[in-house]
Structure 1
């Protein structure tokens, strides 16, 4: 099998390297309490795009720290009520994508809700407000501030809040919710299932946001420069390295993984330099819920043939 990382045998035993903060559980209990105290002020606005088999809406809600979060909501016409719903999360810097991408699930009677990550390529707000550098990316946002101000903390909470909102819609069966996404979207899928454990099925593809220290030290991805630039400009001799990666441990998906209760199918590409396989296995090996792994030996951070069809078959079992 081609390798850019460890052997498959080593990966199956790998448990991750990034430090786990001692107060990790208290951190997320505090975060969830903040989220639950927010008045969501959900708004549905009929979109300009409509389809014969579905009603399409722009969905807005207020997340933590006052950010207004946007999602695309596609609701099938003439489907039984209540029916299942799929939450979709996009890759880093992207957006919820095209309306037409959601219609395949609407055609089988499933609602689809695709979230724009705050401050990235869609309509969701990033309200900012942290001390220290923001440099050029979201991963380092808040590293010089209190851990409660890490931007990805807020993004993870947005996914859980969105799931709760979907579960409250009268047309949606709260016991038949799935979540999916690739790269950043794969990480957010897992975060959503961990922070809202009522999610029944999860289909992440090569998840990002895992085992940051391992990814940094492997230094395989020339396009992932945020942490490298942070150290070059703000800690050139790495005197704060332990501190920085421990703080990133609060938003490391591997340490949320044991909270997942839904069934997981994970697609992984063994030649992935964007999200190295070992970082993904650090999460997969910690999931205690029912799980399965689909391995693509010759593929990188790219389209995985057949996994989309397999994912739909997986969700048709909701």
Structure 2
């Protein structure tokens, strides 16, 4: 069933954003601290048993200089620098294996896949630990790790990794640094939003953002209208820590996709499923309607969190062909 507002109301849904006064200062400080560490990106050739694709095992310095893993895939022996799509992964998934990521190199582009620190134990394996586990109480999962302190919060580390991943992708000679897109679904969609807003601040310009069924948008409403995980982790935490709920949402405001959307000017394609109980449609439209750049949205009325799946991927390929050739 449809689980949120009617479509005509969703198209007009523009809620007030709970934005901290020092939002920009917080992220300027965070990115500045991160760039004090050498990016130290390494690309080690990797035998993935793929005849038509070159694969590199990537390591780069993310938040705090922590080593973050990834994959770089290109068509075999590319001629000249290629457009590159930097891909981010959904909640509790990891980078998996190179043959999981053949769509973009099959279409003639490079693909840079960022592993997600401390995740990869839920549905696809990962290889990157989170060496700064956070302090304070937390419930199972990552969503409440360090949530009582914005500086200690898990997503501060993760979103910094996102920006550094864009920098690392741009550093490889097979990649055209002037033709970079970011992409992801669910948590990965929230990460793509963060990249679109934050990466240009350090000169890592992005050409396009593919933002599918994004997580971490209009977070307070999400917690109020769905019990589905991962937002259910926040509900459970606030139910136990009754006297700290407002502290939780004060931290989350620094990581809410609606606030990143209001600062992102990169052209973007969003997608939403109107039967999505994981990232309810109104939370997606809140980010979409606040998005500052040129934008469009794919609406899947009879789909949930899976969104458009293969048809959405086909849309992405068509857009990439148009913007990258």
Q: Are 1:240 and 2:240 counterparts?
A: no
Find out whether 1:308 has 2:313 as its counterpart: yes
2:193 corresponds in structure 1 to: 190
Shift in Å at residue 47 of structure 1?
2.1
* Matched residue, 2:81: 82
The whole-number CA distance in structure 2 between the counterparts of 1:56 and 1:222 is 34
Deviations 1:95-130 (CA, angstroms, capped at 9, x unpaired): 123322322321332111111110000111201252
8 Å CA contact 1:50–1:56 kept in 2: the answer is: no
Report the equivalent of 1:99.
98
On the 8 A contact 1:60/1:69 being kept in 2, the answer is: yes
Contact 2:83–2:110 (Cα < 8 Å) also in 1:
yes
Deviating beyond 6 angstroms after TM superposition, the runs of 4 or more aligned structure 1 residues are none
Any residues of structure 2 matched to 1:22-41 within 5 Å, and which? 22-41=21-40
Instruction: Report the Cα distance in structure 1 between the residues aligned to 2:311 and 2:198, rounded to whole angstroms.
Output: 29
Q: Paired residue for 1:284, among 288, 298, 308?
A: 288
Whole-angstrom distance in 2 between the partners of 1:222 and 1:12:
25
Query: Of the candidates 198, 207, 211, which is equivalent to residue 204 of structure 1?
Result: 211
Deviations along 1:178-208, one digit per CA (max 9) or x if unpaired, are 1111111111111111111311111111000
Give unpaired runs (5+ residues) of structure 2. Answer: 121-125
- Distance, in Å, in 2 between the alignment partners of 1:281 and 1:148 is 28
Which residue does the alignment assign to 1:60? 59
Matched residue, 1:293: 297
Distance in 1 (CA, whole Å) between partners of 2:312 and 2:289 is 20
Query: What's 2:175 paired with?
Result: 172
Q: CA deviation at 1:17?
A: 5.6
Structure-2 change in CA distance of 1:134 and 1:68 (3 Å): farther
**For the structure 1 residues 166 and 223, does the alpha-carbon distance in structure 2 shift closer, same or farther, using more than 3 Å as the test?**
closer
- The answer for the alignment partner of 1:259 in structure 2 is 263
Distance 1:169 1:57 in 2: 10
Q: Does 1:131 align with 2:130?
A: no
User: Which structure 1 residue ranges, 5 or more long, are not aligned?
Assistant: none
CA RMSD of superposed structures (Å): 1.7
> Which deviates the most, 126-135 or 67-76?
126-135
Deviates more, 1:89-98 or 1:43-52: 43-52
What is the aligned length?
313
2:123 maps to what in 1?
A: none
Cα contact 1:200–1:261 (8 A) shared by 2: no
Say if 1:270 and 1:296, in contact at 8 Å, map to a contact too: yes
Query: What TM-score, normalized to structure 2?
Result: 0.91
Query: Post-superposition shift, 1:66?
Result: 3.4
The farther-off stretch of 90-99 and 116-125 is 90-99
Say yes or no: does 1:9 pair with 2:5: no
Q: TM-score, normalised by structure 1?
A: 0.93
SS in 1 for 2:180: strand
Alpha-carbon distance in 1 for matches of 2:77, 2:147: 48
**Inter-partner Cα distance in structure 1 for 2:265 and 2:214:** 18
CA 1:220–1:143 in 2, change beyond 3 Å: closer, same or farther? closer
State the match for 1:217 in structure 2: 224
Tell me, in whole angstroms, the C-alpha distance in 1 between the residues paired with 2:287 and 2:168: 26
Segment drifting more, 133-142 vs 116-125: 133-142
> Which of the numbers 227, 235, 248 marks the counterpart of 1:228?
235
